[in-house]
Structure 1
Amino acid sequence: MTKPESGISKLKSQAVVSDIFGTVDFPLKPNRSPHGRVTAVSMMKDEGPFVLEWIAHHLAIGFTDLVVFTNDCSDGTDDMLIRLEELGLAHHRRNVIPDGIRPQPSALKHAQLDPLVGASDWVLVFDADEFLCIRHGDGSLDGMISAAQDAGANGIVITWRIYGSGGVHDWSRAPVTEQYVHAAPPMWNKGWGVKTLFKFDPDYWKLGIHRPKIKNKHLKTDFPDSVVWLNGSGLPMEDYFKFRGWRSIVRTVGYDWAQMNHYAVKSIDSYAIRKFRGNVNLKKDKYNADYWALQDRNEVVDESALRHAGRRRDIFDTLLTDPVLHKLHFAALERAEARLAEFKGTEAYADLVAGLKEASKVPITKIDAKPPKPRDPARIAALMSEVEKKRNTKPKSERRHSAHPDWGKASDLYVRGPIDLDTDTPVEVFENRKLKIPADPRVFTPATIQLIMEGKFERNAARRIPKLLNPGATYLEVGAGIGFLPAVIAREQPGVTVIAQEEVPALAQTAARIWDVNGLSQGPALTLTTTPLIQPDDAPDAASGLKALLEDHKCSVLVVNDPRMTPAMLEASLKAVPDTPPKAIILGARALGDQLNADDATLVLTTQGYGVLKENPLAAALLFLHRSAVPEQDRTR
């Protein structure tokens, strides 16, 4: 569909800035983009200490226009933005708030009618405590928008990353994006609010804080068909999101291209300043301990924003060369610090700190971030436009994507990529097979955490495998992960010698902690080894690690759970122990499906004298028994 040119569209080539814009000569000039006006719309109240960093960061990534609405400022935030407007680097607007309207919706109504916003080609609405972080390409908006357009898209739905305090208590003048680098796990779905960068025409779209809304008069036209949005990884969004929704779901979340870093709490002192000054939405009880527990997530380190630090710092330093901005910036800092000093010795401050510290101990599994009202499918259906209802007649397979791979299936026990355990974070513990297991999001996928909370972690294997072992047997597990199955066997079969091999440092560290918490001590009967399973590529024998384990321990049962295992490694290692082969070999779900598949494994093990039972007792694993240990009538081949 070709859209008719609206009156606002004609203004795109005309001057729509204020009379004071760019009236003061300054070394920094506004960005220009091949995509026209790429505009950020935001709202601020008493953000003085952070204004220049926010402006510098978003100039650094390529916005051509920064439009900021302010209300009731007492720390010079509005004066700083007015000066930035005079320098030609931002646009200040007064948020005149009608009675009964909250500041944020009021600002959006003003923005909808603003000539500059209306003349913008691309628009992103977001808050003063949010910083857009671009992972795509060279980290520029222009590059990301070009990629979206090359994919035939006209919008990108960008998901939050919730950043916590990182344990910082004291106030600091250090940049927010450099000081706070601890965040919620990317697959934590309670932190999946979104912000939408999209091709804007005010005749078709009504601005919203999370995503715009198609105006009713265009719903029954072919305009919705022209809306093509991508997620934060550059993949197509599901069709329903054109009409409703404000957060990602497991099928649409993505961070490969961009994320919206949300620094809602910062340090305890910074939070105290904000609590005692109010907020943009006038929610009286917003900045309480519950809000802190929700937003103070520090489970993983994410330094993505640091890629923009150099350019942001250069712009920030240049801004401070303007004597007016310099004076206003440091006055705002001194004012905040003076206010902090006033109430820092009060009982209210002490109570706040105590409450926040307790809130920081709430594990991520205890956080409740449900919408204010329960989801009502009937009400949602009633509010659906006829266009969306028609689209919903399509089969689900045509409307829905598969889940994001990092969400994890039952066989994907552990998160992908590096695991950082250096940060001390509160973790809830659950009993599984009478063993205490931490539901640690730094280690486990969300799907696995759900199993741990339900007491179902590796339940089938924990029930079945110990029954295969008799006193005097030796159990060896390669790729033992957190050492759960070895711990179960050590508890339930004390006459069995157990060796757990895990070379991923964080997993081995977690295994040692779990054993210790559950009163299991390492010794002759229970060993955790980090011996590398795979030697370097240039080593004479790439499978010598597994060979050595088999030769040293002469195990009765070998469990393979390392996803790097290959048929060749398995074959070469078994050939090294022809006189003492394991009586049973179990290929776990983690090992199957990557380098090793069931057919290849069966072929290799058959040549080494193994067969499968007619009835496999393991749900997600394959059990092979050496022919010498299987009665003739039970063999399948």
Structure 2
Amino acid sequence: MAGMSKPKQKDHSGQGRDVSDIFGTVDFPLKRHVSPHGRLTAVSMMKDEGPYLLEWVAHHLSLGFTDLVVYTNDCSDGTDDMLIRLEELGLAHHRRNDIPDGVKPQPSALKYAQEEPIVRNSDWVLVFDADEFLCIKYGNRTLDDMIGAAQEVGANGIVITWRIFGSSGVQHWSRAPVTEQYLNAAPPLWNKGWGVKTLFKFDPEYWRLGIHRPKIKNKHLESEFPHSVRWLNGSGRWMEDYFKFRGWRSIVRTVGYDWAQMNHYAIKSMDSYAIRKLRGNVNNKKDKYNADYWSLQDRNETVDDAAMGHSARRREIMDLLLTDEVLAKLHHKAVTDIENRLEAFKKTAAYDQLVSSLREASNVPITQVIAKPPQQRDTQKIAAQMSSIEQKLAQAPKKKREYRSEPSISASANPYVTGNIDLSDGAPVATFVNNQIKLPADPRVFGAVALQAIMDGKFERNHARRLPGLIKPKDRYLEVGAGIGFLAARLSCLFPDMTIVAQEERYPLVVTAARIWNDNDIAQSAKRKLLKTPLFHPNDGQHVSSGLTTLITQTDCTILYINDPRLTAEMIDTALHSQKNALPQRIIIGARALGGLCDQTTCAERLMALGFAPLEERPLDAALTMFRQDKQT
């Protein structure tokens, strides 16, 4: 490719001139992994991580990293000595982070890593911290499998989003593994937890290492090199082009956890937090360990045990590491010293005050969490820094730049819990206002994505905002597969004189819809109905051919909104052909239906054959919106 030099031949042996004189000088049963993808290197920075180090090392060796390069500064608990011993065993590389005056530890370490022969000879690199554990879900849960899948589609990087793990309500110190002790995390769609780390194919000629993602060197921004950068998100879907040049967080269109996630255990237990507060952190941030930081990181809304898939191999490796007497002695000393120091601290009033403040911070609802606001964007500066390639991408027609969001990210596609919904437990749930409608954040009813949308006030937000624009005087609205009846409730408040019928066959959703209508003072009447009319036989699941036909006929609807995922384009077409009344003026096939059995292309073709045309101007997101050409709309 023009403007690109031929990559230098890389040493994959781990025994070349790039390793230190002590690397692999002690014979040990566990050998360095040899990957078909070359050298897979983890780069990290640590300070006093002695009690946790062996778990971190064992975990990431179990994933298939061939090299662990760790920079340490100001260690007082033997972390550096443990890494030196691991280097002697041929399992890690320890480097000193000698920090120049006025430079922060992490940038200092990355500058060294940029010139480190181990890193420069690496094929794939991932930069991450000691409190972060890579969790792979793809294939056999190894780097080799996941990188192989990425390369099969022509990708050379994977952008991995954080999952923020809280304390799980644990106060006291424990020697139990971090990845097994803390299994509660923030909801996947909580955007304050969307920082990323990037696993990418490395060439030091083109890339400069970064904490969250590498940066293309300035001299190559105007070359053809950016065109060769093809990164996937954590679900194996293509990242947007802008991320080649800037950004360190996922956005709603790019977040994904199906392939991998970066488990971030920033606080662990209250006692662990107290220890960190006592000894400081690798980047010397004085205000890092306060109550606001705790409330931000102590998120326990969902259970996430994906890392347990790595436990068996990690445990096997850690047990093997502890057979080395030198390493075992250093590890046990680090643990004992911390426990002794913690025991002394727990006898003070300062410890009681800290625990009290943390308990109070734990009670801060996720919707009220304070996070440091991002730096205000300087649009002129960004424009000046944009490469000509990115400018061309930004100037392309919108449809060419459009990135189709994942089905897992769209709350409207499948907002409800699949399988049985049990409403017998009457535990109270918090309610949140969504477009003036109070909705319950009920985990018995809603999936994790929809729960987060409700708490953010964004449940089916686009449809709730734009559907009213399709309403005309004297309209009659029928929604089939209305779920919890949210859109019908919204229209009831906006158009009190309009006839609105919401049908839902799934009984727990009908019950929930009735409660929501009641909570929002929407009374059922001749013009306001919640129906549980069946469209399918309850015993064999076969479609009742007359069900949809009868609903359309009886309501004589002018607007038909179909969102039942079981209905096909053929079923809808049959019901419309059977109408004795005039056909509806507008038909909307919602995201739940299109995500089910209703093929969008087939449905559009059949509706057009009946005289409908697509709504071109501001159609509803993730829905097929059609209107009758021979009717005033």
TM-score by length of 1: 0.77
Residue 384 to residue 456, structure 1, CA distance change in 2 (3 Å): closer
1:16-31 residue pairs with structure 2 within 5 A? 16-31=18-33
Q: Can you list the C-alpha shifts for 1:548-575, whole angstroms capped at 9, x where unaligned?
A: 9x99xx9999985422233666799999
- The residue that corresponds to 1:355 in the other structure is 357
- Return the offset for 1:162: 1.9
- Return the offset for 1:433: 4.3
Residue 276 to residue 427, structure 1, CA distance change in 2 (3 Å): farther
Distance 1:338 1:88 in 2: 32
Secondary structure, aligned partner of 1:241: helix
Pick aligned residue for 1:322 from 324, 328, 346: 324
The residue type equivalent to 1:543 in the other structure is: H
- The residue that corresponds to 1:543 in the other structure is 543
Secondary structure, aligned partner of 1:444: helix
Pick aligned residue for 1:109 from 94, 111, 122: 111
Distance 1:293 1:128 in 2: 21
Secondary structure, aligned partner of 1:40: strand
- The residue that corresponds to 1:138 in the other structure is 140
- Return the offset for 1:622: 8.6
Pick aligned residue for 2:378 from 376, 397, 402: 376
Unmatched runs of 5 consecutive residues or more in structure 2? none
- Return the offset for 1:225: 3.6
- The residue that corresponds to 1:627 in the other structure is none
- The residue that corresponds to 1:442 in the other structure is 448
The residue type equivalent to 2:183 in the other structure is: V
Distance 1:65 1:36 in 2: 11
Distance 1:166 1:3 in 2: 50
The residue type equivalent to 2:396 in the other structure is: P
- The residue that corresponds to 2:433 in the other structure is 430
Distance 1:497 1:380 in 2: 49
Distance 2:41 2:605 in 1: 59
Secondary structure, aligned partner of 2:594: coil
Distance 2:6 2:223 in 1: 13
- Return the offset for 1:361: 3.2
Distance 1:535 1:509 in 2: 20
Distance 1:442 1:602 in 2: 35
- Return the offset for 1:52: 1.2
Residue 463 to residue 210, structure 1, CA distance change in 2 (3 Å): closer
Kept in 2: contact 1:503–1:531 (CA 8 A): no
Kept in 1: contact 2:32–2:66 (CA 8 A): yes
Farther-moved stretch of structure 1 (388-397 vs 72-81): 388-397
Q: Can you list the C-alpha shifts for 1:383-430, whole angstroms capped at 9, x where unaligned?
A: 334x446545651548734142347568547278789999x9996722
Kept in 1: contact 2:69–2:92 (CA 8 A): yes
Kept in 1: contact 2:159–2:197 (CA 8 A): yes
Residue 234 to residue 547, structure 1, CA distance change in 2 (3 Å): closer
Residue 369 to residue 454, structure 1, CA distance change in 2 (3 Å): farther
Secondary structure, aligned partner of 1:66: strand
In the comparison of the two structures, how many residue pairs are matched?
A: 611
- Return the offset for 1:381: 1.6
Secondary structure, aligned partner of 2:146: helix
- The residue that corresponds to 1:129 in the other structure is 131
Distance 1:223 1:601 in 2: 41
The answer as to 2:101 corresponding to 1:95 is: no
Distance 1:249 1:202 in 2: 28
Farther-moved stretch of structure 1 (510-519 vs 93-102): 510-519
Residue 73 to residue 410, structure 1, CA distance change in 2 (3 Å): closer
Farther-moved stretch of structure 1 (140-149 vs 48-57): 140-149
1:39-438 residue pairs with structure 2 within 5 A? 39-367=41-369, 369=371, 371-385=373-387, 387-388=388-389, 391-392=392-393, 394-397=395-398, 400-406=401-407, 411-412=412-413, 414=415, 429-430=432-433, 432-433=435-436, 435=438, 438=441
Kept in 2: contact 1:170–1:267 (CA 8 A): yes
- Return the offset for 1:28: 0.9
The residue type equivalent to 1:542 in the other structure is: Q
Q: Can you list the C-alpha shifts for 1:74-120, whole angstroms capped at 9, x where unaligned?
A: 22222221221122111111211122211111111221222222222
Residue 144 to residue 509, structure 1, CA distance change in 2 (3 Å): farther
Unmatched runs of 5 consecutive residues or more in structure 1? 625-633
Secondary structure, aligned partner of 2:34: coil
Kept in 1: contact 2:431–2:439 (CA 8 A): no
Residue 480 to residue 349, structure 1, CA distance change in 2 (3 Å): farther
- Return the offset for 1:328: 2.5
Kept in 2: contact 1:160–1:261 (CA 8 A): yes
Secondary structure, aligned partner of 1:198: strand
Kept in 1: contact 2:182–2:268 (CA 8 A): yes
- Return the offset for 1:301: 2.6
Distance 2:488 2:92 in 1: 61
Kept in 2: contact 1:419–1:442 (CA 8 A): no
- Return the offset for 1:59: 0.5
Kept in 1: contact 2:585–2:631 (CA 8 A): no
Farther-moved stretch of structure 1 (111-120 vs 52-61): 111-120
Farther-moved stretch of structure 1 (436-445 vs 20-29): 436-445
Residue 401 to residue 546, structure 1, CA distance change in 2 (3 Å): same
Residue 437 to residue 417, structure 1, CA distance change in 2 (3 Å): closer
Secondary structure, aligned partner of 1:98: coil
Residue 11 to residue 3, structure 1, CA distance change in 2 (3 Å): farther
The answer as to 2:575 corresponding to 1:593 is: no
Residue 17 to residue 288, structure 1, CA distance change in 2 (3 Å): same
Distance 1:519 1:503 in 2: 23
- The residue that corresponds to 1:631 in the other structure is none
Kept in 1: contact 2:566–2:593 (CA 8 A): no
- Return the offset for 1:61: 0.8
Q: Can you list the C-alpha shifts for 1:178-200, whole angstroms capped at 9, x where unaligned?
A: 22232233333332222122222
The residue type equivalent to 1:96 in the other structure is: D
Distance 2:9 2:604 in 1: 68
Q: Can you list the C-alpha shifts for 1:315-350, whole angstroms capped at 9, x where unaligned?
A: 122122222222322332232333332233433333
Secondary structure, aligned partner of 2:343: helix
Kept in 2: contact 1:65–1:89 (CA 8 A): yes
Q: What do you get for the CA RMSD once the two structures are aligned?
A: 5.1
